[in-house]
Chains A and B, each alone.
Chain A
Amino acid sequence: MLDWLKFYETMIVFENVIKKFPLGNIALQDVSFEIEDNEFVFLVGSSGAGKTTILKLILQDTLPTSGTVMVNEFDVSSKKFHHTEKLRRNIGFVFQDFKILPEKNIYENIAISLQIMGISAKEVKNKVKDALDLVGLNHKEKVFPVQLSAGELQRVAIARAICGDRKIILADEPTGNLDPKTTWDIIKIFKKIEGKKTIIIATHNTDIVNSLKKRVLILKEGRLIKDIRKGGYEL
């Protein structure tokens, strides 16, 4: 059983991680880093640098070719790790393309992340309300995705990711499809939850990274070339 009640100081550890794809493409080459509990980290690099692969490895959506990936002291890179569902229930994921189900309304789209955990309907209602309040969409719970703008859809996705006391939030290019103003609205939401959850945002938006002055992991062609504690970067 996964003991998620206990959270360790070091939340994520990558140790000499190599990821090769079957056709020989190398996504990650000897990548090592540590991320503390409740830390806010940007993962930056151009397309194909390995940002998404790192997020997938944390989610156990893929396994490394070699090396170790530890999440809250659990070795999720091991083939013997059979608690993927439990691991993922502690991780919220925000996608560039939102992944909002079109046939469900906003409330249902968020509630789904709690229902899978077997949480009671009453508790689901309260938690969804809290999440909608946080992202500023409390008046739109009955609305269907087709009636929302891209920025609003991304806010729904964030609400879904933070719902259910998920300890880690992974965001893959969360502002990739958004205009500059909406991008900042989304970043403000991440700022609101800063310090309460471990947040990893994969992006190549230099403006955001440079202005927030958070830790930055810079990737290039699958290698971790820089780990800047409070910094920015240039493409």
Chain B
Amino acid sequence: MREIFTAIKRTPYQSFATFFTLFLTLFLSLAVFFILTFLYGMLGYVESRPQVTVYFQTQTSENNIFKLKEQLLSSEKVLSAKYVSKTEAYEIYKKLNKDNPLLLEMVTSDILPASLEIFAKKPSFLPEIADFLKKQSGIDEVNFQKNIIDKLLSLTSIVRKTSIAFFAYFIITTIIILISITHFKIALKKDEIELLQLLGADRFYIKKPFLKEALFFGLLSSMVVFLIFSALFFVVRPYLQSYLSGVSNLSIDFGFYNLVIWPLTLEFTAASFLITTLFGVFISIASTLLATQKYIK
């Protein structure tokens, strides 16, 4: 550590330049990472909601509803259809409005409609199913979320492509800046490097102080970025909470593991920290390795 601090004291401007370059890149990368994970979480959430919800008129009998359900299930276009009775609808309503007694007093189970929550086998079947339902008798309203999913999919795709371009640009720029800074540091230590070579030091021994410094800056910048980002996240958390008030949780399914991202979990926080740290250390060490490989012969 003493060696690293001495090196920082000897080249303060280069050290600050290294820190701030890494800080900026890691901060923006972490922000993009959060935006992407939340968008994917939202997409997963919307996809897990009923894709078509059909509300029946209050006088429609349960028998008719069940007949329609059977008809839908036998069509081979519907994956599942869940019946929500008036009583169940009232229970859901009560749960959602438990903090508002006035709204609870105004509504009874009689006035809430029964509904069917339908999942299609393919999103392309959704308009067809919706059209079929609209033509049936006893139907009050048909909602289907294809547009929302499509919009979210296209937004996620745009953000993902922009992020890739952004990451590529930032990684290349950061590496070039860090290589230049390391080159400058190598030039400042030219006499010492020449002497070490004459004394019989191997290449790794000569590169080691530069790599140690790179590791230090990679770790330091990623930790500072994570701390500042966490503080900012807690500032915007109440706004996010009110925005996502109806959403019980957001998660990303990796197949082998389902990572819950909202409400904020320890796993997601740890994963974000780990990714930021690894990215910071990788970018810092990789640039230093490239610079030392090129300039220390």
Interface residues of B in 164-203 (CB under 8 A from A): 191-192, 194-202
Number of residue pairs spanning A and B whose beta carbons lie under 8 angstroms apart:
39
Partner of B200, one of A85, A99, A101, A103: A85
The answer to whether B198 and A59 have CB atoms under 8 Å apart is yes
The answer to whether A101 and B195 have CB atoms under 8 Å apart is yes
A92 to chain B: closest residue by CB:
B199
The answer to whether B200 and A86 have CB atoms under 8 Å apart is yes
B205, CB-defined interface residue at 8 Å: yes
* Distance, CA A99 to CA B200, complexed state (A): 15
B10, CB-defined interface residue at 8 Å: yes
* Distance, CA A103 to CA B5, complexed state (A): 13
CB distance from A41 to the nearest CB of B (A): 20
Q: Specify which chain B residues have a CB less than 8 angstroms from the CB of A187 in the assembled complex.
A: none
Q: Specify which chain B residues have a CB less than 8 angstroms from the CB of A99 in the assembled complex.
A: 191, 194-195, 198
Q: Mark B4-28, 1 if CB is under 8 A from A, else 0.
A: 0010001000000000000000000
CB distance from A8 to the nearest CB of B (A): 20
The answer to whether A89 and B200 have CB atoms under 8 Å apart is yes
Q: Which of A45-53, A111-119, A132-140, A210-218 makes up part of the contact surface?
A: A111-119
Residue of B10, B196, B199 ringed by the most chain A CB atoms within 10 A: B199
Given A103-B10, A116-B205 in contact, is the A61-B195 Cβ separation under 8 Å? Answer: no
Interface residues of A in 69-124 (CB under 8 A from B): 84-91, 93, 99, 101, 103, 112-113, 116-117
Give the dominant DSSP class at B's interface: helix
B197 to chain A: closest residue by CB:
A88
Q: How many residues of B contact A (CB 8 A)?
A: 14
The answer to whether A113 and B191 have CB atoms under 8 Å apart is no
The answer to whether B200 and A112 have CB atoms under 8 Å apart is no
* Distance, CA A59 to CA B201, complexed state (A): 13
Q: Specify which chain B residues have a CB less than 8 angstroms from the CB of A85 in the assembled complex.
A: 200-202
* Distance, CA A144 to CA B185, complexed state (A): 22
Interface residues of B in 190-224 (CB under 8 A from A): 191-192, 194-202, 205
Given A99-B195, A101-B191 in contact, is the A87-B10 Cβ separation under 8 Å? Answer: no
A61 to chain B: closest residue by CB:
B198
Q: Specify which chain A residues have a CB less than 8 angstroms from the CB of B10 in the assembled complex.
A: 103
CB distance from B195 to the nearest CB of A (A): 5
The answer to whether A93 and B198 have CB atoms under 8 Å apart is yes
Q: Specify which chain A residues have a CB less than 8 angstroms from the CB of B194 in the assembled complex.
A: 99
A117 to chain B: closest residue by CB:
B200
Partner of B199, one of A61, A86, A112: A112
Q: Specify which chain A residues have a CB less than 8 angstroms from the CB of B195 in the assembled complex.
A: 99, 101, 112
Q: Specify which chain B residues have a CB less than 8 angstroms from the CB of A89 in the assembled complex.
A: 199-200
* Distance, CA A49 to CA B195, complexed state (A): 24
Partner of A116, one of B6, B191, B199: B199
* Distance, CA A86 to CA B205, complexed state (A): 13
Q: Mark A37-75, 1 if CB is under 8 A from B, else 0.
A: 000000000000000000000010100000000000000
The answer to whether B201 and A116 have CB atoms under 8 Å apart is yes
The answer to whether B205 and A101 have CB atoms under 8 Å apart is no
* 19 A-B pairs with C-beta separation under 8 A: A85-B200, A85-B202, A86-B200, A87-B200, A88-B197, A88-B199, A89-B200, A90-B200, A91-B200, A93-B199, A99-B191, A99-B194, A101-B195, A112-B195, A112-B196, A116-B196, A116-B200, A116-B202, A117-B200
**Chain A interface residues (CB < 8 Å from chain B):** 59, 61, 84-91, 93, 99, 101, 103, 112-113, 116-117, 160
**Chain B interface residues (CB < 8 Å from chain A):** 6, 10, 191-192, 194-202, 205
Q: A59-B198, A101-B191 are in contact. List 6 more A-B contacts (CB 8 A).
A: A89-B199, A89-B200, A93-B198, A93-B199, A103-B6, A116-B205
